[in-house]
Structures are given as C-alpha cells and as structure tokens.
Structure 1
Amino acid sequence: MTRRVRANWQDAVLICKKCSKKAKGGFGPKGKWRLAKALRAHLGKPKKGRKAPVGIVEVKCLSVCPKRGITVVNASDLLSWRIVEPDTPIETVIADLGLGATGQQ
C-alpha cells in the first residue's frame, strides 16, 4: 500500500553534501555558511520542509567531485548540472538555478 503526502514545493534543488562540506562554507553574510543554508536564508521561506515553496535538499554525493566547487542540480533542469564556486554571490546562484520568482513570497 502506498500513500501520498502533499508538498508545496514548486521546485527542488539538490546540493552535494560532500562537496559542500569540503568547501567549508563560502556563502552567507560572513562567508561561513554552507550553500544550502545560504539559499534557504536568502529565499526567505517562512515555512520549512515539505510546506516550503522550494525544496533544498542536501544529498550524499553526486559523484562529480570538482576541485573547487559544489555540485548543484535543479530538479526542473536535470540535464544541466551546475558547479558553484564558493564566494559566488547568492543572487547569482539563485538566478542561474531559475529560482528568482519561485522562492519569493
């Protein structure tokens, strides 16, 4: 038997946790936040988890392992994975992932 659970996600972003950990931050106000935390904070979501408008999920490893960067996948564009370098402005990351209109509420 399967059951369905409603989620309010309009989009989902997968972030490689291993890459993010190796980068040791690089985002946020003082450059100490991981990419996932910086995205969540910048998108200003009042709700968390499945009730948020955008799902930001850290996954174990995406097996790309760039020397200097974090592998990011937008679920609506599975053919184009991105490598985000630390210290990239979070607005640039959001625009590149196409989350500008989705996350603002």
Structure 2
Amino acid sequence: MAFSFKVRPLIAEELAQGPVRVDTVAARLHMSRHTLYKKLRLENLTFGRLLDDVRREEAVTLLKDLDRPLVEVAERLGFSEPSAFCRAFKRWMGQSPGAFRQAIA
C-alpha cells in the first residue's frame, strides 16, 4: 500500500479538528516531519499537495449540502476567509463554489 494512503485519512481527521500541521500528522505516524516528507517524495508527492487534495474532496462533499453556508465550508476546510476558499475551489474545479452548487442542484 502506498504511504500516501496512510497520510490522507490523518490529514482529513486533523482538518476536521482544526488547522492541519505536518508535525502533528508525522507524530501520529511515529516519525519526524523530515521522514514524512521523504516518504511522500518517493511517491512524487508533497504534504501540501495531499492537503490540497483532501481539502478539494471535502469541499465537494460539503458543498453538496446546499443548506451549508460557504463561510462554514471555508472555515471547516481551514481557509482564513471565504474568498481564499473560492479562489482555491476555482483552481481545483475550474468553477466557483456557487456555480458548482448550481450544476448539482
């Protein structure tokens, strides 16, 4: 099994609790941050990219709840403000969160 498959669920759990810190994820895997980076690099991945991937997947799930405000989605995903979330979502999906919601409604 790829190492990143162990890291992804930990990132998701940390994200649900608040800000995600690489040191915390590494500690949960009983390794240093350097070792975590090294193992991800062997899969041509970075921690930031995995965090982005998990955030994107969570965003899609959260936005399917049409009653959930965008402010809450942005906060849950660890963005400092809704505009930062909207920019990231547009980069990930090629459309705004509002357009995404209209397309699935």
Superposition TM-score, scaled by structure 1 size:
0.21
Which structure shows the bigger proportion of residues in helix conformation? 2
Larger radius of gyration: 2
Higher relative contact order (CA closer than 8 Å, sequence separation 6+): 1
Tell me which protein shows more strand as a share of its residues: 1
- TM-score of the pair, normalised by structure 2: 0.21
